[in-house]
Structure 1
């Protein structure tokens, strides 16, 4: 069955030619997101016209120690819209007002020119290889961004399709013999629920010195691994080491209820990363460690009315990593350095995205992750990232790492 085609007409009033691009659209929601981003109503004709004299480049800089957020109104906006049209995975659906402005900003490191993502180059580099994303739902968010970007060249087929979000999922790009997978492992180490409870309410048993069999027994067959995780360590946990309870994190009345002491969440994260990196010590190729990407809830948390309504990046002198995320970042970087010092040269690589993402409070779906008629439990999402959006920069960095490897 042929896919519907979106006709995007580019009219050049500067004498550089004009043309029409016929693009496959796999999801109606992505087109609706573009309509909203461009200010069209939901019933607007799908033939979109853009005049290049209105897409001249403008740039503004927001700086921090590692780089800057650069705004391009021009080919970048067009590039991002094309990616959105061709989006293949929209579990993080984003029809947020102001998306045209949000999509106009991108990360630019100091001292080098980070190119835009090139799907053909990426697929050429990974031909005949495989890549595993290991972590929580933000790791899935990362993989989905990659799949959306690669859709400009090829769509994958899911291996053993599974109708779930919090689970392991694998995809294959047949024309390039490339396999990509996400292992959903919220703590990286072995865990289970206490009392058979509900995942968002009851504490979790977390075994800090035991790698999670969900991924650790299978990942050795992959060429690249991208390791991440942090947000679940803010939840109530009972922590174990050596088969014995070590303490509790984020649990009220820990000593009275469990005869254990309070443990800092960043200690738990540090121990879990240590265990995960040891499990990857014999990994055959490159391990990328991605640091924490901070959430941006304002005026509350995800469960009590917090939201994220910004439509432009935050200046570096107006924000800094919150205390919890700063501690998580320090723990991740510390364990990375220990693992890297014991490994062969350049086999462990750090992708430090924390400061750059702290500036992108505008890049979350918020209440626009789902359509208004949908009934969902996670109604306001300031944790994950819009597709397409700031998360795409992670894959520009990933491509850079492949090119430099």
Structure 2
């Protein structure tokens, strides 16, 4: 009888042992994760652009109301958007971990240096996003100012915010095509109102040539509505190329940019990145934005349907043929699944539907998180490894 009671008491305890073991392992794992450094970079072989969107209640990384620098056109909630769910999605690579964005660490990485975004209005959105993200680590907001006391507008060719405590300058240089736009040559047909000199880089290059980090983008303006339909044609050498295809012109422009980097940029000092094209979600047959309420997982699974991939392939070919080390920040596919996060009709006044630009906070913050991870992984560059 005593033996039977003894086994009866032990049996429940034995059943509990596996559960106790699992609890201990889970507790140890959580403690280990909490002890991991904030800036563990992903391994170089990891494709951080492949993954999925995960709903995260701790997002967004900042609020537009806390960042007065965001231009009114990107403040979707201030402009009447009733929901905030589009701000709650975090990008999670499928092959590795990327560090959470740490504004203080990013400022430390860039201490005493310049980071310049060169490109179109999408580059300006990413620039505004980064300024707002970095501001979250600055207690005294008066120590951050626009160097020329200018207001952020789409017409400003040059904007820059200086973070005085860290001596960091975050710049934006407007250059939608990266190459020089000029008046038409003499005796050009009347339909030619301007030209793109595909063999001459943008004249403002002297302003950003010696930045410590250069982030380029171009592609949004490489379409008929921004070129031929408004009388803008291509020019190479002394020849007007009226019939030149957009893809060929884009490649010629990127080749000009690549030659400039290869010949004049010291990549031992300057980290050079080119961000891939950002997708639009304009539904041409229905003439409306193709909006969804949340990230579209099917577009991640079938990226071949993205129109911008043709220009992306040109970008990758050009970069692969360069002599200098240049990185490509791939954001096209992950952004293609986020039709929920465009400005749409939530902008001041009554402008046309905007299926190209993004609300802030929003998707451009993820581009900057990938930028942060990329700079951390660049262990051979002093920008990424400085401890000053």
TM range (shorter): 0.7 to 0.9
Q: Which residue of 1 aligns with 2:371?
A: 398
SS of match in other structure, 1:383: strand
SS of match in other structure, 1:171: strand
CA distance in 1, matches of 2:173, 2:291: 31
Offset at residue 382 of structure 1 (A): 1.2
Q: Is the 8 A contact 1:308 1:366 kept in 2?
A: no
TM-aligned CA distance change 1:220 to 1:313, over 3 Å: same
2:148 aligned with 1:160, yes or no? yes
Q: Which residue of 2 aligns with 1:173?
A: 163
For residues 6-405 of structure 1, the aligned pairs below 5 Å read: 66-75=49-58, 77=59, 79-80=60-61, 82-91=62-71, 92-95=74-77, 97=81, 99-154=83-138, 155=141, 156-163=144-151, 164-166=153-155, 167-192=157-182, 204-214=194-204, 216-234=205-223, 235=226, 236=228, 237-247=232-242, 261=243, 263-281=244-262, 282-284=264-266, 285-299=270-284, 305-317=287-299, 320=303, 322=305, 324-339=307-322, 342-343=323-324, 347-370=325-348, 374=349, 378-405=351-378
CA distance in 1, matches of 2:290, 2:158: 29
Higher-helix-fraction structure: 2
TM-aligned CA distance change 1:209 to 1:368, over 3 Å: same
CA distance in 2, matches of 1:319, 1:311: 19
SS of match in other structure, 1:162: coil
The aligned length equals 306
Offset at residue 127 of structure 1 (A): 0.4
Q: Residue by residue, what CA displacement relative to the aligned partner does 1:30-62 show, whole Å, maximum 9, x if unpaired? A: xxxxxxxxxxxxxxxxxxxxxxxxxxxxxxxxx
CA distance in 1, matches of 2:114, 2:297: 37
Structure 1: stretches of 5+ with no match in the other structure: 1-63, 196-200, 248-260
Structure 2: stretches of 5+ with no match in the other structure: 1-46, 186-190, 379-388
**Pairwise CA RMSD of aligned residues?**
2.5
Q: Residue by residue, what CA displacement relative to the aligned partner does 1:54-88 show, whole Å, maximum 9, x if unpaired? A: xxxxxxxxxx995222323432x3x44x4434223
Runs (4+) of structure 1 moved beyond 6 Å? none
Q: Residue by residue, what CA displacement relative to the aligned partner does 1:255-301 show, whole Å, maximum 9, x if unpaired? A: xxxxxx2x221221111112122222232311011000111112569
CA distance in 2, matches of 1:298, 1:402: 36
Offset at residue 352 of structure 1 (A): 0.9
Give the TM-score, by structure 2 length.
0.73
Q: Is the 8 A contact 1:321 1:358 kept in 2?
A: no
Q: Is the 8 A contact 1:88 1:151 kept in 2?
A: no
TM-aligned CA distance change 1:185 to 1:321, over 3 Å: farther
Q: Is the 8 A contact 1:106 1:390 kept in 2?
A: no
Q: Residue by residue, what CA displacement relative to the aligned partner does 1:129-152 show, whole Å, maximum 9, x if unpaired? A: 001111011100110010111110
TM-aligned CA distance change 1:350 to 1:128, over 3 Å: same
CA distance in 1, matches of 2:86, 2:316: 29
Higher RCO structure, 1 or 2 (CA under 8 Å, sep 6+)? 2
CA distance in 1, matches of 2:114, 2:50: 30
Q: Which residue of 2 aligns with 1:255?
A: none
The answer to which of 149-158 and 306-315 deviates more is 306-315
Offset at residue 98 of structure 1 (A): 6.0
Give the TM-score, by structure 1 length.
0.70
Offset at residue 93 of structure 1 (A): 1.8
CA distance in 2, matches of 1:193, 1:324: 30
CA distance in 2, matches of 1:85, 1:276: 38
Q: Is the 8 A contact 1:69 1:105 kept in 2?
A: no
